[in-house]
C-alpha cells in the first residue's frame, strides 16, 4: 500500500467515531438501515431514529410485516421520506428472495427494490467486508482533493473518477472495506465541503489540491440547500400532520398546515402519487 493508504487507515484507527452500525455486534440489517438513513442526513439526526427503528424492527421480516404507512410514520422528520418506502420494499424483497437474511453479494443487493450502486457496494463492504468501490459524497471529495487536485467532484460520478477510485482500492477485502469507511470518515469530519480542517488532515502534505494552492471549483453551479418555502418543505409539513394523527385527516386540517393552496394541492397530489399518502376520499387522507 502507498503512504496515502497507510496514513488514512492509521488515522481512522485512532479517530473513528463510535457509531452503532460500526459496532462489532452490528448486524447486516443494522448496517443496511444506517445506509438508507444517512443519505443526505447528518449522523446526529439519524442516531435516535435508527435506535428506535431497530427496536421496533430488528430484522427485515419485522419491517416487511407492517404497512408502508408505519414505516413512513417511524421515519419521522429525517426528510426524504421515500427512503422509508424503499427500505420497506428492500426488506420485503429480502424476505421473499433470501429467507429474511440480508444478502452478502453486491449483485443480490443491487437486485433488491430501492437499492442502487452506492448502497449495494456500501452494504457489501461495511456489513460483509467485501472489496468494492464505495463512492459517496465524502469519499468523492477526499479523492478529488487529495489525488485529482480539485475542490469538488462533478455532480455525477464520472468514468475517470470511478477508475481512480478502483485503482486506489487495496487488494485485500478487509483492508479495502476499511479503506472505504476510512475515506468516508475523513471527508465527514476533516475534509468537509465548507471548511476543511487541513491542519488535522493526515495526508495534507500529500494533497494535490493543497499543493496547487487550493484552486476554486470551476465546474457547473452546485445545487444550493434552500429549503424554506420549497415544495420539499410543504410536503414535509403535510406528512407531519398525517404522522401525528391517529386516523384519517380531512383536507381542511391540511389547509391549516400550509398555504398557498396551489402549492399545497400540488404537493399533496405528489405525495399520493408517490405512495407516501393514501387518498381515502376526495377530501380525506391518511398514511398508507
Of 35, 96, 101, 255, which is the active-site residue?
35
Determine the Cα–Cα distance for residues 92 and 86; give it in Å rounded to an integer. 10
- The dihedral region occupied by 275, where left means phi > 0, alpha psi between -120 and 50, and beta the remainder, is left
Residue 95 Cα distances to 71, 84, 288, angstroms: 16, 17, 21
Question: Burial of 223 by CB count in 10 Å (0-12 exposed, 13-18 middle, 19+ buried)?
Answer: exposed
Q: What are phi and psi of 185, to 5 degrees?
A: -65, -40
CB atoms within 10 A of CB 38: 21
Q: Is residue 101 annotated as part of the catalytic site, yes or no?
A: no
Helix (H) or strand (E) holding 284: strand 284-286
- What positions carry a catalytic annotation? 35
Amino acid at each position: 500500500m502507498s503512504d496515502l493508504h497507510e496514513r488514512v487507515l492509521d488515522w481512522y484507527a485512532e479517530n473513528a467515531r463510535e457509531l452503532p452500525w460500526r459496532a462489532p455486534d452490528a448486524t447486516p440489517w443494522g448496517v443496511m438501515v444506517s445506509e438508507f438513513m444517512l443519505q443526505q442526513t447528518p449522523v446526529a439526526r439519524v442516531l435516535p431514529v435508527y435506535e428506535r427503528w431497530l427496536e421496533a424492527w430488528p430484522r427485515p421480516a419485522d419491517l416487511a410485516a407492517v404497512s408502508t404507512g408505519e414505516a413512513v410514520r417511524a421515519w419521522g422528520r429525517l426528510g426524504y421520506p421515500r427512503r422509508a418506502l424503499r427500505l420497506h420494499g428492500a426488506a420485503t424483497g429480502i424476505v421473499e428472495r433470501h429467507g429474511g437474511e440480508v444478502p452478502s453479494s453486491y449483485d443480490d443487493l443491487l437486485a433488491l427494490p430501492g437499492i442502487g450502486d452506492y448502497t449495494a457496494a456500501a452494504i457489501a463492504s461495511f456489513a460483509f467486508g467485501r472489496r468494492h468501490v464505495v463512492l459517496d459524497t465524502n469519499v468523492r471529495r477526499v479523492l478529488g482533493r487529495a489525488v485529482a487536485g480539485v475542490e469538488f467532484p462533478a455532480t455525477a460520478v464520472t468514468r475517470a473518477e470511478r477508475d481512480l477510485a478502483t485503482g486506489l482500492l487495496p487488494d485485500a477485502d478487509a483492508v479495502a472495506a476499511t479503506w472505504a469507511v476510512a475515506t468516508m470518515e475523513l471527508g465527514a469530519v476533516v475534509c468537509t465541503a465548507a471548511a476543511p480542517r487541513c491542519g488535522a488532515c493526515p495526508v495534507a502534505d500529500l494533497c494535490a489540491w493543497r499543493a496547487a494552492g487550493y484552486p476554486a471549483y470551476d465546474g457547473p453551479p452546485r445545487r444550493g440547500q434552500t429549503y424554506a418555502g420549497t415544495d420539499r418543505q410543504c410536503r414535509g409539513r403535510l406528512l407531519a400532520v398525517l404522522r401525528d394523527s391517529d386516523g384519517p385527516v380531512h383536507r381542511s386540517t391540511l389547509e391549516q398546515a400550509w398555504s398557498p393552496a396551489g402549492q399545497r394541492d400540488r404537493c399533496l397530489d405528489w405525495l399520493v402519487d408517490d405512495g407516501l399518502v393514501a387518498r381515502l376520499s376526495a377530501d380525506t387522507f391518511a398514511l398508507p
